[in-house]
Amino acid sequence: MKTINPATGKVIKEYSEMSFEEVSGIIYRANIAQKQWKERSFTNRSVNLNKISELLKKNKDRLGKLMSTEMGKPFSESIGEIEKCAWVCEYYAENAEEFLADDTVETDASKSYVTFNPLGTVLSIMPWNFPFWQLFRFAAPALMAGNAVILSHSENVTGCALEIEKIIHGSGISADLFRTILVQNENMKPIVQHDGIAAVTLTGSTKAGKIVASQAGEALKKTVLELGGSDPSVILADADIKQAAESCVNSRLLNSGQSCIAAKRFVVVEEVYDEFVSEFKKLMETKKVGDPFDEATDIGPMAREDLRDGLHVQVQKSIEVGAECTLGGEKPGAVGSFYPVTILENVTKGMPAYDEELFGPVASIIKVQDEAEAVKVANDSVYGLGASIYSSDVEKAEKIAAEQLEAGCCFVNDFVKSDPRLPFGGIKQSGYGRELGLYGIREFVNTKTVYVM
């Protein structure tokens, strides 16, 4: 196993994969530690979570540098990611006890209520695009609920995975309660099905989600899946075009375009199509691709060369069947897995740019006649993670977001983002279950009915 700097193509470090016997021992010890951890009060656990937050903030420059080196995101975004992880730890340290308080239900019994108990040891299989955030948004509530956590991270961010482990252990949490394991994806099935694993959460591609869900299903284990997305941004005729264009560009290029909730399909009513595209393109042209440690850089390299090459194939195939490339679209010959800011117009059904998730700095723009067609096209996807809608008629846009758009997260006049206070997750091929907020912490607990006659 090795990590490679995507900006230079050079190997950073190589690691030895753990054997199943090693991992089995880790899981065994995690279950012992979990039994002790679950007996501690919420107040006691919150001390550790707040300490994790302090350590993250104290070490954010060092951790951010490692993140940018391993997966290429601009350094300023890496710093922001670490700060957000600190926030989610503080949020659950403060709110977990209230979220998991017994829920009294009036029945014929003298007393009846619902209580929430931890499940045990939860396996988390995490992706490379937000190496710290993806883990902490699951681990903070899971730990506060009384569970143990085993992390299997993407091979290309192994350094980040090991640093996460050090930070958590530095808070005073038992070294056995949270462990990082080094195992390649093709060898994960016996770990997913291990008797010591109570549940599994995966953030990643839809393909990976189906594999893990199938493996976990064979062993009747609870799963939460946060998978791919091809999020639409709907631009109605009465939208503030400049504001909408700026928001859409920010969404499309966040994390160098490598975000499951990034806006990817821009569905624009023809009345304002030309105006929106003009403003959108003008902003996209100002974005600089380059060294993630250069303060002037907006977009770093893609995390791996194979991902960059796969994206380029999707762009070329879309052009071959009629899409018009009006910006970018040419794969650089320089060292590093860089890809230019790209705009595809005349995008229609049947093209990769319409049907598939484009994980990189590529925008697909789709012209529609009116509001009704805009909603229809927005929903015309196998994915259902996030969606946004832009309109000066906020009441109308809110109604469309709440009642018509098929997604787990719908935003009005802003781009989709995760927030510790709000549940996050998708429908259709974007997965199931929720992270964050009240609903996130209740995923990995036994929701138990207690009835006293």
The question of whether 89 is a catalytic residue gets the answer: no
Residue-by-residue DSSP string for 50-96: HHHHHHHHHTHHHHHHHHHHHH---HHHHHHHHHHHHHHHHHHHHHH
Q: Taking a C-beta distance cutoff of 8 angstroms, is the pair 212, 223 a contact?
A: yes
User: What's residue 334's pLDDT?
Assistant: 83
Q: Taking a C-beta distance cutoff of 8 angstroms, is the pair 396, 378 a contact?
A: no
Query: One of 226, 356, 357, 435 is an active-site residue; which one?
Result: 226
Q: What is the pLDDT of residues 72-109, one digit of tens each?
A: 999 999 999 999 999 999 999 999 999 999 999 999 99
- CA 421, 227, 79, 121 torsion-angle sign: positive
For 266-370, where are the alpha helices, taking DSSP H only? Answer: 273-284, 305-320, 352-355
User: What's residue 324's pLDDT?
Assistant: 98
Segments of the chain with pLDDT less than 70: none
Number of C-alpha atoms within 13 angstroms, CB side, residue 326? 17
The question of whether 85 is a catalytic residue gets the answer: no
Q: What is the pLDDT of residues 184-217, one digit of tens each?
A: 999 999 999 999 999 999 999 999 999 999 999 9
Q: What is the pLDDT of residues 326-378, one digit of tens each?
A: 999 999 988 999 999 999 999 999 999 999 999 999 999 999 999 999 999 99
User: What's residue 87's pLDDT?
Assistant: 98
Query: One of 85, 160, 248, 260 is an active-site residue; which one?
Result: 260
